[in-house]
């Protein structure tokens, strides 16, 4: 089944919720500001920050990325 590329902002939101991690805790752990973390949760994460984020969350990159993947169902073509 085809899928869209991972949405790392979504991955970050979900992973932080799963780990019960506050924005301030993530910011402190990776040396960022709370406003940077908030921005990344909405608009994407700089590539150089992905590894520190995954390490802080105790996740492999593949696990983190999978949280932001959405499965796309093929269009229903029956009756056409």
Is 77 a domain residue?
A: no
Q: Tens of pLDDT along 10-47?
A: 999 999 999 999 999 999 999 999 999 999 999 999 99
Give the relative orientation of helices 34-43 and 8-18 as an angle to the nearest 10 degrees. Answer: 120
Domain, as residue range, for 47: 8-67
CB of 14 within 8 A of CB of 68? yes
pTM of the model: 0.81
Q: Which residue has the higher pLDDT, 6 or 55?
A: 55
* Among the listed residues 51, 61, 11, the one whose alpha carbon sits nearest the alpha carbon of residue 31: 51
Is 58 a domain residue?
A: yes
CATH code of the domain covering residue 53 = 1.10.260.40
Share of the chain above pLDDT 90, in %: 78
When divided into structural domains, the chain yields a total of 1
Strand partners, 3: 71
Distances (CA, A) of 10 to 2, 14, 39, 74, 77: 19, 6, 12, 22, 30
Q: Tell me how far apart the alpha carbons of residues 67 and 10 are, in angstroms, rounded to a whole number.
A: 7
Name the band, by pLDDT with cuts 50, 70 and 90, for residue 6.
confident
Is 31 a domain residue?
A: yes
């Amino acid at each position: 089944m085809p899928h869209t590329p991972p949405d790392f902002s979504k991955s970050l939101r979900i992973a932080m919720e799963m780990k019960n991690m506050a924005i301030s805790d993530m910011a402190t752990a990776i040396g960022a500001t709370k406003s940077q973390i908030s921005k990344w949760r909405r608009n994407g994460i700089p590539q150089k920050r992905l590894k520190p984020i995954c390490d802080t969350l105790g996740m492999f990159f593949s696990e983190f990325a999978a949280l932001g993947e959405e499965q796309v169902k093929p269009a229903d073509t029956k009756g056409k």
